[in-house]
Amino acid sequence: MAAPSRSPRLALIIFVIVGAVACLALGWWQLQRYESAAGSAQNLGYALQWPLFAGFLVYAYFRFVRLEKEEEKGEPVPGPPREVPEGVLPPRPAPAGHAHEDPEITAYNAYLAELSQHDRDRSTS
């Protein structure tokens, strides 16, 4: 028996329509604010952004419907690879050796180790 086909959900369609209309209305409102005496470039920026948000809602809905249809057909949904093949990434560098260490740095590190040991001795007694 075949699986029943899914139709786009009515609630989702209503949400997308209401959301897109609200975004377009907010864009219109921001455009009116921009054209008023108290308007600024920020209002113009918002007036240009709100229609993009409406477009994104519509795009996301159609993408969702397409992915659902692909899932029903049993086609694999493209995703990130699960494992990186050997030889794709460069080898990790070896840790840097301490062959060219500065004697001043060595003395300073020894001094810090001595101070640390002194603090540990004071805290335990």
Residue 29 pLDDT > 90: yes
pTM above 0.75, yes or no: no
More confidently predicted of 65 and 5: 65
More confidently predicted of 13 and 101: 13
Per-residue pLDDT, 3 = 53
Q: How far apart are CA 61 and CA 15, in angstroms?
A: 10
Half-sphere exposure for 19 (CA within 13 Å, toward CB) = 16
Are 8 and 65 in contact by the 8 Å Cβ rule? The answer is yes
